Amino acid sequence: MGGAVSAGEDNDDLIDNLKEAQYIRTDRVEQAFRAIDRGDYYLEGYRDNAYKDLAWKHGNIHLSAPCIYSEVMEALKLQQGLSFLNLGSGTGYLSTMVGLIIGPFGVNHGVELHKDVVEYAKERLDDFIKNSDSFDRFEFCEPHFVVGNCLEISSDSHQYERIYCGAGVQKDHENYMKILLKVGGILVMPIEDQLTQITRTGQSSWESKNILAVSFAPLVQQNRTEGCKTEAVVLPALSVRNLQDLARIYIRRTLRNLTNDENPGRNNMQRSSQKRKRRRCRRRRRINTYVFVGNQLIPQPMDSEEDECIEEESKEEEQEKDIEPIKPEEPQVNHLRDKILSLPLPESLKSYLLYYREK
């Protein structure tokens, strides 16, 4: 599944394509996608395909196509403080993006069938926390992953406000998934080759909406062989943050707001907008028209009106270049980190505020 948009040269280029094709429609989702480089979740030697709109699988490790993830993120209607459950959490790519939106007072849990994939997801998460500057630009809800079959979740489990299932759900398992959802919550999952958004409007009432035609591998069924009793999957407990952790969150928030005021317009959104404008112009030049002559389909050159439109846009771009030459991009600076390191505090406290990140 995938191939709905053009391949990108890098992560920003991929997001430009998804936004232009209207798969990404909100600023919040766009920022999360730009903050997490999809290529970081590929194995070495396979990253050449990371920015194509295609699914990828190697052994038990799997990533859905970017267009699928963007539709899921939009359909979940994420907000700060929500609880999220990812059934079939895989590499943790989606869960990490969700964590950037729901923030430190949300809940971010994932269930994955394969132990080796959970270990891989934890490695990717640890790398993000330790090495990515995006960790300092957002308030983050760290995902917690458990190994198990998502069809074996304990019956006394707590409910969630947002749920995504990353495998095909058979019709007889639909109600099982719905039970995990709080009233007012949203469940997104593939049912009968349709990515479906289900909203729980009451204790026994639901609203469903088909989002996109998809093709997903089905959920792995429970093991019912004789003499083999499967253990119920116990989801992580809902815990309250301690006072020390709360202090770190609010200190970092205060310092982040301060550095944002001191360094306005320090993101890369303007650069991305310029790339999208150039891409649209190039695509317009490739448009051909066709007419039927008898039983044959004959290509015709572009009409003069389209040619004039392109010439005008080209002139505008040339004028913009004459007025203000495009400056090379400056390397991004982690202003929050610099601010913390400049404070007159003991080194141990600085390290704590930085989550012991070395970079």
Active site residues: 64
Query: How far is residue 240's CA from residue 105's CA, in Å, rounded to a whole number?
Result: 9
Residue 69: CA count within 13 A, CB half-sphere: 29
Residue ranges in the chain assigned as alpha helix (H): 11-20, 27-35, 66-76, 93-102, 115-131, 134-137, 174-179, 243-262, 269-285, 304-323, 335-342, 347-353
Query: How far is residue 16's CA from residue 18's CA, in Å, rounded to a whole number?
Result: 6
Could you tell me if 86 and 110 are in contact, meaning their C-beta atoms sit under 8 angstroms apart? yes
Residue whose pair of structure tokens reads 């952790």 in the numeric block: 245
Could you tell me if 266 and 334 are in contact, meaning their C-beta atoms sit under 8 angstroms apart? no
Q: Which two tokens stand for residue 324?
A: 């203000």
Cβ atoms within 10 Å, residue 164: 25
> Dihedral through CA 80, CA 83, CA 87, CA 93, nearest 10?
30
Ordered DSSP codes for 191-229: ETTEEEEEEEEETTEEEEEEEEE---PBPPPP---TT-P
Q: What share of the chain is helix, strand, coil (3-state, %, to 5)?
A: 40, 20, 35
Selection from 111, 38, 40 nearest residue 68 by Cα? 38
Query: How far is residue 249's CA from residue 165's CA, in Å, rounded to a whole number?
Result: 30
User: At how many degrees (to 10) do helices 269-285 and 304-323 cross?
Assistant: 150
- 61 forms beta bridges with 58
